Chains A and B, each alone.
Chain A
Amino acid sequence: MSEPIITFSKVNKWYGNSFHVLRDIDLTVTRGERIVICGPSGSGKSTLIRCINGLEEHQEGSIVVDGTEISDDIRAIEKVRREVGMVFQQFNLFPHLTVLENLTLAPMWVGKTPKAEAEKRAMLQLERVKIAEQAHKYPLQLSGGQQQRVAIARALCLTPKVMLFDEPTSALDPEMIKEVLDVMIELANQGITMICVTHEMGFAKAVADRVIFMDQGQIVEQNKPHEFFNNPQSERTRDFLSKILGH
């Protein structure tokens, strides 16, 4: 087995004093692994991946990303963030910057890459997500699917070791989901480590090495996609699958 890139050990997180959102999470992700996390809303799946790059802080246990532990030390967190790209449900592109500027921002201001070099690399990423011709438009001039592809390209600009996807297709019109999934599948085939919170079970079947099912802040079950879908172990998983695949 190849070496781990992300390790959760006994991670617990609370919102406020009473809401126990992550409970005793143990999870190891190996380099190049593609993981899909699913589960009902409120089960803690988004919170889990947002803990990986320190957008949420956990109160107990440890999270180690590529040898760096996520702690109160903002330097450690910023180091991790440079190595972990993230794509959000609501795209979160910067509306006051052009597509190209959205992509060059981090390389220029975090990576200290010269402008010309950053733009050259940004164009390569835009070609990768098949949207190079929109480089000089503003995000709000693009369709939802195009915006999400720009967001993926933006996350790729720092050449991350891990990509996190937080329900990347949930805010899209049905017609646009495919173009985003196609880009994600292509990315998956290029061997980057991916953790993806999604309900696109077709995507899970096509590319995931492992599917994780979460409920009430816990990992209920995890397995290879074929096993997961055809032979779920727990009653809760069967119930969930019957609801999302049932029609």
Chain B
Amino acid sequence: MNAVFTPVAARPAPSSTRGPLVWLRRNLFSNWQSSAFTLALLVLAVLYVPGMLRWMVFASITAADADACQAARGIGACWGVVTEKHRLIIFGRYPFDQQWRPLVATVLMMALLMASCTRPFWRPWLAALWVVVLAAAFTLMSGGVLGLAKVTTDQWGGLPLTIMLSSLSIVMAFPIAVLVAMGRRSQMPAIRTFCTIYVELIRGVPLISVLFMASFMFPLFMPQGFSIDVLVRVLAGITLFAAAYLAEIVRGGLQAIPKGQVEAAQSLGLSYWKTQRKIVLPQALALVVPGIVNSFISIFKDTSLVTIVSLYELTGALGLALNSDANWRPFKVEGYLFITAIYFVFCFAMSRYSLWIEKQLNRSKNR
């Protein structure tokens, strides 16, 4: 017998698997546990959402009126504290009439940060652009030239300081981390030992103590009359701290690359550095994007610790703004909610970007 192979034509899925009712049944009421959980959540929402909305929106005071806020205590939120103090919270101790300078500097840095996240900017000149923009931002903020009044770094504060500290330490920590991760896998014992000691030493201490050392102990070792700006010392501290954590993440990615990839590159005559740059690192880093972004988000929030060495970034500036003013001090919760929202916007943006970049880098894996 001569059997003939006849392929079955493709059909659309049956309609009983589509539509909102089907979706509800499948996702919210698929069995009794899930139905019970759905109902419980509904009850909680009915109980608490109206109260929350009343406090946050309907009964809230947005005008900078301390008496009205006082009257609404416990009933509605006092967003007036934000209306009144937002410039102090956002710019910290920076001289009030000069605050356009950190604003422009921050907008510049943010624009470059966002541009750096997109493909057309992944060019060799991006590094040079960073140097130029950072120099411009630094000059703008510190002044002393072009008729700008001098503002010392201990007066810098608020969101510009947060963004500056975190973006600079991320940008500087990343290459250090890659080198340290490669160093820990080096054939040369001296390099390997040095990198291991660095990572273990830094990971073994809290960031606070690193900042303390950078701020208070380091100057003791310096010769008389020679000092490095506290901002630079703190920046170096955060960078070295972040680099140690990042290095371990990168090392995890390096270990996931099969040996055959290196051998294939070597057999083509590529040198160690070219093999790392063209073959190993692009694949290893793509694998650990979630971990890297996780670390970036941590660094961004960890900058709030610099308050302990008297640099008033966003969180510190909030305390500065409210502690000294008895009228507004009671409304700290609202103030914290305000900066929480700011932190969230930045962190959420980073996490969405991480998803996008993962998609970009994984295109080669899609069949």
A94-B279, A96-B286 are contacts. A158–B367 as well, Cβ < 8 Å? no
Q: Contact partner of A53 among B267, B274, B365, CB < 8 A? A: B267
Q: Contact partner of B282 among A90, A96, A109, CB < 8 A? A: A96
Binds A, one of B74-82, B116-124, B256-264: B256-264
B260:A88 contact, CB within 8 angstroms: yes
Residues on the B chain within 8 Å of A82, using CB: 269
- Determine whether A81 belongs to the interface, using a CB cutoff of 8 Å to chain B: yes
| B361 nearest CB neighbor, chain A only | A96
Residues 105 to 121 of chain A near chain B (Cβ within 8 Å): 105-106, 109-110
Docked complex Cα distance between A155 and B269 (Å): 10
Residues on the B chain within 8 Å of A110, using CB: 268-270, 274
Residues on the A chain within 8 Å of B268, using CB: 81, 105-106, 110, 154-155, 158
Residues on the B chain within 8 Å of A239, using CB: none
Residues on the B chain within 8 Å of A84, using CB: 267
Residues on the B chain within 8 Å of A55, using CB: 263, 266-267
- Minimum distance in angstroms from A226 CB to a CB of chain B: 32
- Determine whether A141 belongs to the interface, using a CB cutoff of 8 Å to chain B: yes
Q: Contact partner of B283 among A53, A95, A138, A154, CB < 8 A? A: A95
Residues on the B chain within 8 Å of A151, using CB: 264
Q: How many A-B residue pairs have CB under 8 A?
A: 72
Residues on the A chain within 8 Å of B54, using CB: none
Docked complex Cα distance between A110 and B269 (Å): 7
Docked complex Cα distance between A155 and B274 (Å): 17
Q: Contact partner of A140 among B282, B283, B365, CB < 8 A? A: B365
| A110 nearest CB neighbor, chain B only | B269
Residues on the A chain within 8 Å of B258, using CB: 90, 92
B267:A140 contact, CB within 8 angstroms: no
B261:A92 contact, CB within 8 angstroms: yes
B264:A92 contact, CB within 8 angstroms: yes
Docked complex Cα distance between A141 and B268 (Å): 23
Residues on the B chain within 8 Å of A158, using CB: 268-269
A105-B278, A140-B365 are contacts. A93–B264 as well, Cβ < 8 Å? yes
| A157 nearest CB neighbor, chain B only | B268
Q: Contact partner of A86 among B267, B279, B286, CB < 8 A? A: B267
- Minimum distance in angstroms from B271 CB to a CB of chain A: 7
B266:A88 contact, CB within 8 angstroms: no
Q: Contact partner of B269 among A88, A98, A106, A138, CB < 8 A? A: A106
Docked complex Cα distance between A140 and B283 (Å): 14
Residues on the A chain within 8 Å of B264, using CB: 86, 88, 92-94, 151
- Determine whether A78 belongs to the interface, using a CB cutoff of 8 Å to chain B: yes
- Minimum distance in angstroms from B265 CB to a CB of chain A: 8
- In this complex, the interface size class of chain B, counting residues with CB under 8 Å from chain A, is 20 to 34
- Minimum distance in angstroms from B365 CB to a CB of chain A: 6
- Determine whether B15 belongs to the interface, using a CB cutoff of 8 Å to chain A: no
- Minimum distance in angstroms from B264 CB to a CB of chain A: 4
Q: Contact partner of A109 among B261, B266, B270, B361, CB < 8 A? A: B270
B365:A95 contact, CB within 8 angstroms: yes
- Determine whether A225 belongs to the interface, using a CB cutoff of 8 Å to chain B: no
Q: Contact partner of B364 among A53, A81, A96, CB < 8 A? A: A96
- Determine whether A39 belongs to the interface, using a CB cutoff of 8 Å to chain B: no
Docked complex Cα distance between A155 and B264 (Å): 9
Q: Contact partner of A95 among B266, B274, B364, CB < 8 A? A: B364
- B-contact bits for A4-22, CB 8 A (1 contact / 0 none): 0000000000000000000
Residues on the A chain within 8 Å of B271, using CB: 74, 78
Q: Contact partner of A90 among B260, B269, B279, B286, CB < 8 A? A: B260
Which A residues form the contact surface with B (CB < 8 A)?
53-55, 74, 78, 81-82, 84-86, 88, 90, 92-98, 105-106, 109-110, 138-141, 151, 154-155, 158
**A–B Cβ pairs within 8 angstroms, 30 of them:** A53-B267, A54-B266, A74-B271, A84-B267, A85-B267, A86-B267, A88-B264, A90-B258, A92-B260, A92-B261, A92-B263, A94-B283, A95-B283, A95-B364, A95-B365, A96-B283, A96-B286, A96-B361, A96-B364, A98-B364, A105-B268, A105-B278, A106-B270, A109-B270, A109-B278, A140-B364, A141-B366, A155-B267, A158-B268, A158-B269
Can you name 9 extra interface pairs (CB under 8 A) apart from A81-B267, A92-B263, A97-B364? A53-B266, A54-B266, A88-B263, A94-B283, A96-B282, A105-B268, A105-B278, A139-B364, A140-B364
Which B residues form the contact surface with A (CB < 8 A)?
258, 260-261, 263-271, 274, 278-279, 282-283, 286, 361, 363-367
